[in-house]
Amino acid sequence: MAFLSQILVPSSSSVKIFSVIAVIFLSHNVAAVTPATNKTTRAVFTFGDSIMDTGNNDYIISIAKGNFPPYGRDFVGGKPTGRFSNGKVASDFAAEMFGVKKILPAYLDPKLQLQDLLTGSVLSLPDQLDLFKKYKSKITAAVGNERTATILSKSISFLSMGSNDLAIDYFSTPLRSPHYDIPAYTDLMIESASNFLQELHALGARVIGVICIPPIGCLPAQRTLNGGIKRACYETGNQAATLFNSKLSLLIDSLNERLPEAHLMYLDSYSPALSLIQNPAQYGFEVVDKGCCGTGDLEIGPLCNKDTPGTCNDVSKYIFWDSFHPTEKAYRILTSIIFKGVKI
């Protein structure tokens, strides 16, 4: 459930399967970890999109920003930070679950220090693998080749992939749909995902949790654009997500067999997100089809601003903050389910 943190026009030969955000969490311990123990994480690397961004959009050229009110109204100090939510986002909760820190700074923040790199930060550039290489070089210069190699081999990488490729590029703009049907486009996405995962493995990553596409047809914006007069979930969007997810699961099985020492995990975000939407009362929600900001139908980024006619009074009742991104409460619930039981 995410919107682009930087608007990029993809080439005809590839898709931007991971958008623009990469997040890295680090601690100083050595062995493996599960969220249940939180005692032995060496490093957690997260690649994804705006559900992970903790403020890098402040420092890049982009029309999609979250660094103005009402974004961040429930964050520490009640101020906007570039997070696409009323408060914390998925990367903050993932870092908290693994016992690293409660709030992650943005990598592009000019005040960032080396210690921030060693304890957790969020990175953002269009080519995440190039950024990861630069990060690796910085850490190698600081702590040496041996420790860097250990950090990578004993760590876990989380990848959130594909939502923008379908929700934005395919169903909301004419970038892709005139050229590909859904099966062909999801094949193209899988090819890009495979290349990314193999490159990440070549750079030293071994344990990789791959987060699938949630039910994008139930995003408030997709309901408005494609859900008809009743603003129902756009089932074609959900079916496309399900098709991609099935291919992704097979890809992960294949890569586990082919790549040495690889341990790739398929992490289901579709089922828990759909459960929130279909059974809101079970999780303490009431509003599932609108965002808290403005009308809740289409507002996002620059359309969700201080001049928007109001935000909801009780955000705890809402799954979505704007028409694409979850509220802090929804982020907390979803990350606790998706990452539960993950093992290195």
b/e code 251-278 from CB counts within 10 Å (16+ = b): bbeebeeebeebebbebebbebbbbbbe
Question: Which member of 109, 201, 322, 323 is catalytic?
Answer: 322
Question: Which member of 49, 58, 155, 325 is catalytic?
Answer: 325
The tokens describing 66, both together, are 């979250």
CA-wise closest residue to 30 among 147, 112, 141: 147
Question: Which member of 5, 50, 157, 269 is catalytic?
Answer: 50
Q: Is 130 a residue of the active site?
A: no
Query: What gap in Å lies between CA 251 and CA 100, rounded to an integer?
Result: 30
User: How many CB atoms lie under 10 A from the CB of residue 17?
Assistant: 25
Beta carbons within 8 Å of 234's beta carbon, 6+ residues apart? 171, 216, 217, 218, 222, 223, 225, 226, 227
User: 63, 302 in Cβ contact below 8 A?
Assistant: yes
Query: What gap in Å lies between CA 133 and CA 64, rounded to an integer?
Result: 26
Q: Is 49 a residue of the active site?
A: no
CA-wise closest residue to 18 among 139, 194, 165: 165
User: How many CB atoms lie under 10 A from the CB of residue 141?
Assistant: 11
Q: Is 179 a residue of the active site?
A: no
Catalytic residues: 50, 322, 325
